[in-house]
Amino acid sequence: MSHQTLTIFKELVKKINEYNEALSILFWDLRTGAPKKGVEGRSEVIGMLSTEQFNLSTSQQMGDCLSQLSETSVFESLNQTEQRMVTEHKKDYDRNKKIPVNLYKENVILTSKSESVWEEAKDQSDFSIFQPYLEKVVELKKKFVEYWGVKGTPYDTLLDIYEPNITASQLDQVFGMLRERLVPLVTQIAESTNKPNTTFLHQSFSEEKQREFSLFVLKEIGYDFAAGRLDKAVHPFMINLNLKDVRITTNYYPDDITFSLFSSLHEGGHALYEQNISAELVGTGLCTGASMGIHESQSRFWENMIGRSLPFWKRYYKNLQEVFPNEFSSVSVEDFYRGTNEAKPSLIRIEADELTYNLHVMIRYELEKALFNEDLKVADLPQAWNEKYTEYLGVTPAHDGEGVLQDVHWSGGDFGYFPSYSLGNIYAAQFMNTIQKQLPEFDTYIENGELLPIKQWLSDQIYQYGKLLTPAEIIKQVTNEEINPEYLIAYLEKKFKDIYQI
Amino acid sequence: MSHQTLTIFKELVKKINEYNEALSILFWDLRTGAPKKGVEGRSEVIGMLSTEQFNLSTSQQMGDCLSQLSETSVFESLNQTEQRMVTEHKKDYDRNKKIPVNLYKENVILTSKSESVWEEAKDQSDFSIFQPYLEKVVELKKKFVEYWGVKGTPYDTLLDIYEPNITASQLDQVFGMLRERLVPLVTQIAESTNKPNTTFLHQSFSEEKQREFSLFVLKEIGYDFAAGRLDKAVHPFMINLNLKDVRITTNYYPDDITFSLFSSLHEGGHALYEQNISAELVGTGLCTGASMGIHESQSRFWENMIGRSLPFWKRYYKNLQEVFPNEFSSVSVEDFYRGTNEAKPSLIRIEADELTYNLHVMIRYELEKALFNEDLKVADLPQAWNEKYTEYLGVTPAHDGEGVLQDVHWSGGDFGYFPSYSLGNIYAAQFMNTIQKQLPEFDTYIENGELLPIKQWLSDQIYQYGKLLTPAEIIKQVTNEEINPEYLIAYLEKKFKDIYQI
C-alpha cells in the first residue's frame, strides 16, 4: 500500500462527515421550526446531499482504498484509530454494495409509502390498511438479509446493524431473565395498596419556567451550552452536528412537569456523551457513540439513575420549588420522588415508566424474532401482540391504534432497533454498579450537587472513546464483565419495592 | 445542439441551487445562534460545500453546455427563461474562469486576513494598521478587473457585478443631481429651528413587546409566516433558502423602539420580493432579486416610503400604543411621525436617516471611483474622506474609526457595492411615482391598512419576474423611463421641507 491510499481514504471519510453535518443541520432545522411551506423544496436538497454522500461511501475509490487497507500486512501497520476506521467503513461499504441498486430504490419508495400508510392506519386504528405494506416491508427486508448474509440467524443480521455483534441467543437469555423477575414485580406493584400520589405533577406549568428549569439542570449535569443549545421540538432528540455543536430539544406540556424535565435529562445524557468524545476522533467517522445501546445507556443513566433518584431530588427539589413556589410548596421531596417514579402497567411504550418499559421492549423483540427467525405471519401480529400484553403486563389493547400500530419503526423497516432501548437500561445499571464501587461517595456527590466528577468518570471510561471501541469492548473494559442484566433487575427490584413498600 | 445539453445544463443549475440552499442554512444558523465553539468545525463544512458548488459552476461540463447553448441558432431556439439562464450562468462562468486559480486563492487568503486586520484597525481607530492590507486588496482587485476585461472604465467592471450594466458615467449624473439638490436641503434642515422631538423613541422597551409589534406589522404588509420566520441577529438580514422559505432577522435595542421596527420592515421588504417570485423560476438560478439595487428598492420602499409615512402611522399608531400604552399614550401621531423622520448630518452611514443616507453613499462612490479610475492613493483615503464629509454633510470625523474605517466592505474587496444602496432609493421613488398614478387611492389604502393591494401591484410589476428581467428592463417596463433621480429628490424635498417647515 502506498502512503497515499491512507491519505485519500481519510479525505474521503472527512468529506462524508462534512456531508453528514450539512444533512444534520437541515434535519435539525426541519424539526425545530422550518416554515412548513418550504419543506418540499428542502426535501430536494436533502435528497441531493444524501445522494452525494452515498455515492462517496460506495465509490470505486472508497472500495479500492478499503480493499488495499484491509490486506493483513497493511492493516496491521495501521494505528488503532485507523484500523477501526477501516473496519467500520468496510462494514458500511459491504452492507451498501451487497444490495442491488434496484432493490435499494424499491426499498426507499416502499418505506416512504409505508410510513404514510402506517400513519393513516394508526389514525383509524385499522391494521388491515397497513398489513399489505408491512408484509412487503418484511419480505424485502428478508431479501436484504440474504444479500447481507445470515449471521447465525436472520434476525442476528438485523440486530448487528444497531448493536454490533449482539445475537438473538444472547437476547433470549437477557430478556428471559427480565421476564422471569420483572413480570412478577409488575404484578406485585399493581396489587400494592401503597401507591404514590401524582396529582401535583399535573398542574399548570408555564413553558417559560419549564424551560428555565431544564436549562438549570442541564447546566448542573455539565452540558456545555457554548457547544450546544436547547430548542423545542414535538419529539425530543439530540443531534451531533460536530464535536463542539451538540444540540438537544425538548417539549413542554402545560399540564405535566415531568415531560420536559426528564426528556431534557434524557437528551442531555446523549449530549454529554457526544460532547466529551476525544477531539482526536473528529473527522474519522468514529466521533460518535459506540452503538445505539451504549448511547441509550447514557440517556437512561442521566434520566433515570440520576434524575429519578432520591439523592438528586434531595439536592435539587428546592430549586424546582423556587421556580414553582405555588405548585410545590406543600409537597414533600419524598412524595415528589415517589410521584415521579410511579410504575404502572400500560399500553403505550413511550409513556411507560422506568420499570415496565423493559416489558414493552421485550414484547417487540419477541415478535420481531418470530417474524424473521420463526414462522410468524404479519397477518397474525395484532393477535400475538395483544396476547403478550395481556400475559406480561396484564393489560389488553382495545384497538390496534394503542396496540400493534403504535410505533413508527416497522413501517420504515427498522427491525432490530427496539432491543437497544433495554440494552441501554442494562448497560446503564452495569456502569452504575461499577461507578458505585470506584466512587464510593456516589450518592453523596449527587446529594451535594457535585455531578461533574460523575460526568468526568463517564468521560474517562466511556465517552472519550466514541466509536473507537465496540460495545462489547466498552462493557468489558469498564465493568470487567460481559453484558449482564442482573444489575438492572437488582436495581429495579430495590428501587420499586422500596417505593411501593412491597 | 442535442436536447440532452439543455437537460444536463438545467440539472447542473438545479444542483448548484441546492448547494446554495444548504450553504444558506449554514449561514443563517451561524448568525442566529449556532454555539460558538462549533464554528470552527462548521467552517470546514462550508468550505467543502462551497468548493463543490464552485467546481460545478466552473466545470468542463458547464463550459461545454454554455458554449453550445450560446451559439446563435441554438440560443434563439430557447425560451425566455432558458435564454436568461444561459446568459446569467455564462457571465458567472466567464467571470470565474478568467481569473487564474492562484490569484483566486491569493484573494481568499488576503481578504480573510484583511477583514480581521480591519476589525483591529477600527477598534484602535488607526488607519495605518489597515493601510498596507487595503493597498494589496485594491491592487489585486485591479488585476482582477484586467482579467475580467475593462468595460468602459475599470470601475464600471466592478459596478456591473452588483448592478448589471450601470456605469460610472450614469452614476456621475445621478449622484451629481443628488449632490446639487440634497446638500443644500441638508444645510437648511441643520439650520431649521423647527426640529422634531425624539425623546419618546428612547424609553425602555421590552424585547418581547418589540417582537410582538414586529410580527404584527410583518403580517400586515403580507409577509407569509408559513413560508418564513423572524429571528434575532446582531446585524439584521433576509435570506432566501427557497421560494417558500424566506427568513428575516432583526435586533432589539432596549432603549430604541425604531431599530427593530424599521429593520423588520426593511428586511420584510426584501422578503416580500423573494416570497413572490414566480414558482416557474424555482431551480433556474433566476429565482431571486434582479440586482442589489432593485432588491434595495423594495426594502427601502417598505421601510421608508410606507413605514415612515404619515398615512401608515395614522392607521397603525393605535396598535403601537396598545402594545406600549405607558410609553406613547401622551405622544401624538404627528409627533411620532416627525420623530421617526429626524434628519441630521452624522458620521456613521448605518445610523443615518432616509435623507442624509444618500450623501454617505455618494462619498463612498466618489472615493471608489477615484481609486480605480483616477489616481487616488489608498494612503490618501482618510484625508479625502474627511474633506468630503465636511463639504457635503458639514461634519468631520474626529478619528478614522468614525471615518474611513467604519464599513467592512472594502476589507473584503467589495468595491462597487455601495452605489446599490442609493440606487435602491432612486428606484423606489420611481416605482412609487408610478404606483401613485396607477393606484390613485395609494395613500387611502395605507391609511385604511389595506396594504395587500400594494403588495399585489409590486408582485405583478416586479416581484414575479425575479431575475428574468435585468434591472434596466424592469425600470423601463414599470415606469416607462430610464433611471431618474428626480423622483427621489422631489419626494425627499417635499417630505423633509414639510417636516422641518422650511
Cα–Cα distance for residue pair B133/B113, rounded to 1 Å: 8
Whether residue B136 is contained in a domain is answered as: yes
If asked whether residues B76 and B171 sit together in one domain, one would say no
Q: Are A35 and B244 an interchain contact pair (Cβ–Cβ within 8 Å)?
A: yes
Q: Which residue has the cell 441577529?
A: B233
Cβ–Cβ < 8 Å for A102, A110: no
Residue in chain B nearest A43 by alpha carbon: B18
Helix (H, G, I), strand (E, B) or coil at A336: helix
Distance from CA of A242 to the nearest CA of B (A): 6
If asked whether residues B7 and B132 sit together in one domain, one would say no
- Is B456's pLDDT higher than 80? yes
A68-78 pLDDT, tens digit each: 999 999 999 99
Q: Supply the pLDDT for residue B122.
A: 96
Whether residue B120 is contained in a domain is answered as: no
Whether residue A497 is contained in a domain is answered as: no
DSSP H or E stretch at residue A27: helix A3-32
Q: Which residues of A touch B223 (CB under 8 A)?
A: none
Q: Are A229 and B35 an interchain contact pair (Cβ–Cβ within 8 Å)?
A: yes
Cα–Cα distance for residue pair A183/A178, rounded to 1 Å: 8
Average pLDDT of every residue of chain A = 96
B78-120 pLDDT, tens digit each: 999 999 999 999 999 999 999 998 998 899 899 989 999 999 9
- Is A287's pLDDT higher than 90? yes
Summarize the confidence of residues A303-317 as an average pLDDT. 98
Q: Supply the pLDDT for residue B101.
A: 87
Torsion over CA of A295, A296, A299 and A300, rounded to 10 degrees? -150
Q: Are A226 and B33 an interchain contact pair (Cβ–Cβ within 8 Å)?
A: no
If asked whether residues B57 and B145 sit together in one domain, one would say no
Average pLDDT of every residue of chain B = 96
Neighbouring-strand partners of residue B249? B231
Q: Out of A18, A37, A44, whose CB is closest to B18?
A: A44
Q: What is the 3-state secondary structure (H, E, C) of A381-449?
A: HHHHHHHHHHHHHCCCCCCHHHCCCCCCHHHHCCCCCCHHHHHHHHHHHHHHHHHHHHCCCHHHHHHCC
CA B149 to chain centre: 26
For residue B497, which amino acid is it?
A: K
Distance from CA of A27 to the nearest CA of B (A): 11
- Is B453's pLDDT higher than 90? yes
A246 band by pLDDT with thresholds 50, 70 and 90: very high
Distance from CA of B36 to the nearest CA of A (A): 6
If asked whether residues B265 and B194 sit together in one domain, one would say yes
B351-409 pLDDT, tens digit each: 999 999 999 999 999 999 999 999 999 999 999 999 999 999 999 999 999 999 999 99
Q: Which residues of A touch B40 (CB under 8 A)?
A: 244
Q: Out of A38, A41, A244, whose CB is closest to B38?
A: A244
Q: Supply the pLDDT for residue A151.
A: 83
Q: In chain B, how many domains are there?
A: 2
Q: Out of B35, B52, B282, whose CB is closest to A227?
A: B35
Summarize the confidence of residues A102-116 as an average pLDDT. 91
Q: What domain range includes position A108?
A: 3-150
Other CB atoms within 10 A of residue B203 CB: 14
- Is A213's pLDDT higher than 70? yes
Which residue ranges of A are tagged as binding site for Zn(2+)?
266, 270, 296
Q: Which residues of B touch A228 (CB under 8 A)?
A: 35
Q: Are A18 and B42 an interchain contact pair (Cβ–Cβ within 8 Å)?
A: no
Report chain B residues touching chain A, CB-CB < 8 A: 15, 18-19, 21-22, 25-26, 29, 33-38, 40-42, 44-45, 48-49, 52, 224-229, 241-245, 247, 282
If asked whether residues B71 and B134 sit together in one domain, one would say no
Pairing of strands B230-232, B245-250: parallel
Could you give the residue ranges of the DSSP H alpha helices within B71-152?
72-77, 80-98, 101-124, 127-148
Q: Out of A37, A40, A226, whose CB is closest to B35?
A: A226
Cβ–Cβ < 8 Å for A203, A255: yes
Based on the residue annotation, tell me whether A267 is a catalytic residue of this protein. yes
If asked whether residues B94 and B199 sit together in one domain, one would say no
Whether residue B211 is contained in a domain is answered as: yes
Cβ–Cβ < 8 Å for B51, B43: no
Q: Are B242 and A48 an interchain contact pair (Cβ–Cβ within 8 Å)?
A: no
B6-21 pLDDT, tens digit each: 999 999 999 999 999 9
Summarize the confidence of residues B50-70 as an average pLDDT. 96
Q: Among B48, B281, B287, which would you mutate to test the A interface (most chain A Cβ atoms within 10 Å of its Cβ)? A: B48
Q: Supply the pLDDT for residue A1.
A: 56
B241-268 pLDDT, tens digit each: 999 999 999 999 999 999 999 999 999 9
If asked whether residues B73 and B143 sit together in one domain, one would say no
Q: Which residues of A touch B280 (CB under 8 A)?
A: none
DSSP B59: -
A2 band by pLDDT with thresholds 50, 70 and 90: low
If asked whether residues B63 and B174 sit together in one domain, one would say no
Q: Supply the pLDDT for residue A464.
A: 98
DSSP B230: E
Residue in chain B nearest A40 by alpha carbon: B244
Q: Supply the pLDDT for residue A71.
A: 97
Residue in chain A nearest B243 by alpha carbon: A38
Q: Supply the pLDDT for residue B1.
A: 55
Distance from CA of A501 to the nearest CA of B (A): 46
Cα–Cα distance for residue pair B465/B460, rounded to 1 Å: 8
Whether residue A26 is contained in a domain is answered as: yes
Q: Cell numbers of B169, please? A: 458615467
> Which residues of B are identified as catalytic?
267
Q: Is B3 annotated as a binding residue?
A: no
Distance from CA of B1 to the nearest CA of A (A): 27
What lies within 8 Å, CB to CB, of B330 at 6+ separation is none
Summarize the confidence of residues A41-53 as an average pLDDT. 93
Q: Cell numbers of B154, please? A: 475599470
Out of A88, A163, A267, A366, pick the active-site residue.
Answer: A267
Q: Are B29 and A33 an interchain contact pair (Cβ–Cβ within 8 Å)?
A: no
Whether residue A102 is contained in a domain is answered as: yes
If asked whether residues B476 and B380 sit together in one domain, one would say yes
- How many beta-carbon contacts under 8 Å exist across A and B? 101
Pairing of strands A238-242, A245-250: antiparallel
If asked whether residues B200 and B273 sit together in one domain, one would say yes
Q: Are B37 and A241 an interchain contact pair (Cβ–Cβ within 8 Å)?
A: no
| Cα Dmax for chain B | 72
Strand arrangement of the beta sheet that strand A238-242 belongs to:
A230-232, A245-250, A238-242
Q: Are A226 and B48 an interchain contact pair (Cβ–Cβ within 8 Å)?
A: no
- B374-398 CB burial, b ≥16 within 10 A, e <16: eebebeebbebbbebbeebbebebe
Cα–Cα distance for residue pair B336/B317, rounded to 1 Å: 8
Whether residue B107 is contained in a domain is answered as: no
Whether residue A501 is contained in a domain is answered as: no
- Is A412's pLDDT higher than 90? yes
A291 band by pLDDT with thresholds 50, 70 and 90: very high
Q: Which residues of B touch A224 (CB under 8 A)?
A: 37
Q: Are B38 and A224 an interchain contact pair (Cβ–Cβ within 8 Å)?
A: no
Helix (H, G, I), strand (E, B) or coil at B502: coil
* Predicted complex: ipTM over 0.85: yes
Q: Are B226 and A29 an interchain contact pair (Cβ–Cβ within 8 Å)?
A: no
Q: Are B241 and A40 an interchain contact pair (Cβ–Cβ within 8 Å)?
A: no
Cβ–Cβ < 8 Å for A184, A171: no
Summarize the confidence of residues B445-460 as an average pLDDT. 97
